[in-house]
A and B are shown apart, each in its own frame.
Chain A
C-alpha cells in the first residue's frame, strides 16, 4: 500500500461518507450505545417548544398528525381554543411514525405540554413510569364520554391520564353492489362465513382480502379471533403477559385461523394493506377485515357503496359484541411549563365544541364525545358509531394492548411465520411463549 498512497487516498475520498467504514461503525455503535446512553434524544430538539415564552398565555402541543386532514383539524381546534380562552397553542408536528418511534426519548427529554397518543397498554405504561401527567381533574369537567372511553383513559392507579378525541372500529368491509349482484347475506356464524367464502370462490372472487407486508394488519385478524373465541378478558390478560401462549385456548385461535386462511388472499406477505383494499375496491375481493380507514382507498362516488359487518360469532357463550376500536387522543407531559394551560387545552379538546369541529373536519374517523352533533356523519360513520356504541368491550389493537417490544420483535415475525407455514402451530407458540417469558420478566 505504500507506493500509490496518494492515489489510494484520492480514491478513498471518492467513497461517500455514508459508505466509509468509520462512519458505519460509529453509526451502528452510536445508535446502539451513545444514542441510548444519552437517552434524552434526538426528537427533543424537534419537539421542544417553538415559542419558548414562559408567560402564561401559551401552551405547546406535540402532534403526530402529519397527514393533511388531521393536521388541519388540529389547527382549527387550537384556533378555536385561542378564541375562547386567549391562550395560544403552538403545534409541533412530527411525522406520524417518527413520533411513535421516538416516543421514549421524547417523553424523557423536554416534551410538549400536551401531546398526541393512543389509549391502551402503552399509555398506562407511561403513566406508571411517571412520564405523563395526571388529568383526573380535567375528567371531572368533561361530559359526553361513555364508561368504556373513561376506562380506556385510566391508568393502573385508577387515575386518568388521557383525553380521547377520535376512534375507528375494525370490522369486515364489503361493497354493497358486489353483494347484491351475487345475493350474499351477512354471515352470523363462523360456519356461515366459511360457506360464504366457498360461494365467493365459486363466483371467482378472493373471499377475504389480506395483506401483511408491514406486519401489523394480521394482528387485527388475531385480535378478533381471540376476542370471539376466548373473550375480552382473556385477550387483555394474554396481551399483558399473564396468560401462556401455549395454552389450548390460544391454540384454538390459531387452528381456527388456519382453517380460514384458504379463504384469504394468497401471498399476503408481499402485499400492503392499500393493495389489498384496492382489490376490494376493484371488486376482485369479496370482503376485508380492516379499520374504517379502508374507505381512503375508495373514490368519492364509491363511498356509499361501502358497508361492513362485525366479525361473526364463533362461541355462543362469548358472543360477538367485543371489537378492536383504537382510540386516539391527547396526554399531558409530566412537567408542563404551565399545568393550568395544558389542562385548559385538554378540557377544551374533550368538549362538545371541539368534537363538533372534528366531525366537520375529518370524515375518516369518529369522535369520542357522544354529545357531538353527528348529523354530518356519512352513513358509514353513523353505522360505525352504532357498532362501537353497542360493543360491550373495546380492545385497542394488539400493538397498543401489549408491550411494543413484544409486538414488534416477537409477534410480527411469528404471525408472518404462521401465514407462511400454518402447519407448525405448536412450535410457533412455544417460540412465542419463550420469548414472552424473557421479555415480560425483564
Chain B
C-alpha cells in the first residue's frame, strides 16, 4: 500500500517530540507543508474510498443478502428476510457443499506441497544461468499468460475420454474428466502446470536480487550448494517466501477458472467459488443462497488473511 512508508516516516521522527508538551506535538505536524498535507490526505482518502467502495461495501452487501431470499428480480424493497435459512440449507441439504470444502483444501495442499516447491526448484535451476535458460523461462511461464478459455480447451484435447491425446498415447480408457475420483487430480495437474510457472518467475526474480557476495562468502567458508541455499539464500529470501506462500493460498482459494471451463464445477470438481458463481451469476439468480456461500468463503479467506497479517505484523515489530 502506498501510504505505508509515510506512516513509518511519521513514526521515525517523533522520538524527541514524545517528551515535549502537546504544543510541541502540534509544531511537529506543522513541519508538513500545505502541499504535503493535501498529498497525504489524497493518498489516504483515494485508496480508502476505493477499498470501501469496491471491497467492504460489496462484502457487507453480500453478508446482508445472505439473510434474504432475493432472486435478482424486482426492487430492493421486495426482498424478504429469511434469517439463517440459507446457511441451514447450505450445510444440511446442499449436496455439493461438503465436496467443495474438501476440494478447496485438497487444492491448497496440492499447490503447497507439490506445485510451489517444484516452481521454486525450477527457479533455482534457472538461476544457474544454464544454456537456453531464457527459453525454459518462457516455456514455463507461458501457461500463466494463456487465456483460461484456451487452457481449458488445451486440456480438453488431452483429457477427452474418446478422442483425447492421453488415452490415445497410453491406450487406456480412463474417463479423466468424468470420473469424480480421477478428475480432481487431472485438474490439479492442469492447475499445477500454471502455478509452477508463476511461482518460478516470482522466485527467480527474488533469486536475482540476492547479493552475490553472500554466496561467495558461503563458498569460501566451504559450504556446499545445497546448504548454501538452505542456510543462506533461503533465509535471505524470507520476504519472497512470504509472498510465494500468500500467492499459493490465494491461488487455491480463488481456484475457479479451470473447473468452470471444464464442467462448471460439478461432478467431483466442486469448489466454493464455482458454487457461488453457479448460484449467483447467470440465469439461476439464487442470490440469497449464493451470498450465503460467498459469505462462508469470505470467512474462510479472512482466517488466512488474519494469520498472514498477524505474521507480517509480528515481523515488523521485531
Contacts and interface: CB of A to CB of B under 8 A. Distances in A.
B46 interface: no
Contact of A417 (B59, B95, B159, B178): B95
Contacts of A214: 263-264
Interface stretch (A2-10, A196-204, A338-346): A2-10
The SS class assigned to the A binding surface is helix
Contacts of A416: 266-267
A409 B72 contact: no
B315 interface: yes
B82 A33 contact: no
Contact of A215 (B80, B179, B263, B276): B263
Contacts of B176: 270
Contact of A31 (B162, B183, B277): B277
A5 B183 contact: no
Contacts of B59: 25, 29, 33
B301 interface: yes
Interface string B286-307: 1110110010011001000100
B242 to A, nearest CB: 7
A7 to B, nearest CB: 6
A24 interface: yes
A12 interface: yes
A32 B55 contact: no
Contacts of B73: 104, 108, 129, 131
Nearest to A433: B93
Nearest to B148: A18
A29 B298 contact: yes
B140 to A, nearest CB: 15
B38 interface: no
A3 B278 CA distance: 44
Contacts of A19: 198, 247, 250-251, 254
A431 B95 contact: yes
Contact of B72 (A104, A122, A268): A104
Interface stretch (B111-119, B199-207, B221-229): B199-207
Contact of B178 (A26, A267, A434): A267
Interface in B147-173: 159-163, 173
A11 B267 contact: no
Contacts of B246: 21
B113 to A, nearest CB: 20
Contacts of B281: 31, 35, 101
A122 B283 CA distance: 10
Contacts of B297: 28
A314 B80 CA distance: 44
B93 A438 contact: yes
A266 B175 CA distance: 9
B211 to A, nearest CB: 11
B307 to A, nearest CB: 14
B5 to A, nearest CB: 7
The SS class assigned to the B binding surface is helix
Contacts of A420: 180, 267
Given A101-B282, A269-B267, A275 B202 contact: no
B249 to A, nearest CB: 9
Interface stretch (B18-26, B61-69, B102-110, B123-131): B61-69
Interface residues of A, number: 68
Nearest to B60: A33
A278 B162 CA distance: 10
Interface in A244-261: none
B279 interface: yes
A24 B279 contact: no
A32 B290 contact: yes
Given A29-B55, A268-B178, A408 B290 contact: no
Given A4-B239, A28-B273, A439 B286 contact: yes
B298 A33 contact: no
Q: Taking each of A14, A15, A36, A420, which has the highest tally of chain B beta carbons within 10 Å of its own beta carbon?
A: A36
A5 B5 contact: yes
A216 B4 CA distance: 52
B3 interface: no
B72 A24 contact: no
Contacts of A24: 250, 253-254
Interface of B: 4-5, 8, 51, 54-55, 57-62, 65, 69-74, 76, 80, 82, 85, 89, 92-96, 144, 159-163, 173, 175-180, 183, 198, 201-202, 205-206, 209, 239-240, 242-243, 246-247, 250-251, 253-254, 263-264, 266-267, 273, 276-288, 290-291, 294, 297-298, 301, 305, 312, 315-316
Given A100-B282, A270-B161, A271-B178, 18 more contacts: A8-B239, A8-B240, A19-B247, A29-B298, A32-B290, A33-B65, A33-B294, A37-B65, A102-B282, A213-B263, A215-B266, A269-B175, A270-B160, A278-B162, A405-B284, A408-B284, A409-B284, A438-B85
23 contacts: A8-B239, A14-B201, A15-B247, A29-B62, A33-B61, A37-B76, A101-B281, A214-B264, A267-B161, A268-B178, A269-B177, A269-B180, A270-B161, A270-B177, A271-B161, A275-B160, A404-B285, A405-B286, A408-B284, A420-B180, A434-B93, A442-B69, A442-B71
Q: Which 8 A-B pairs have the closest CB atoms?
A: A270-B178, A33-B61, A269-B178, A267-B175, A33-B58, A101-B282, A442-B69, A270-B177
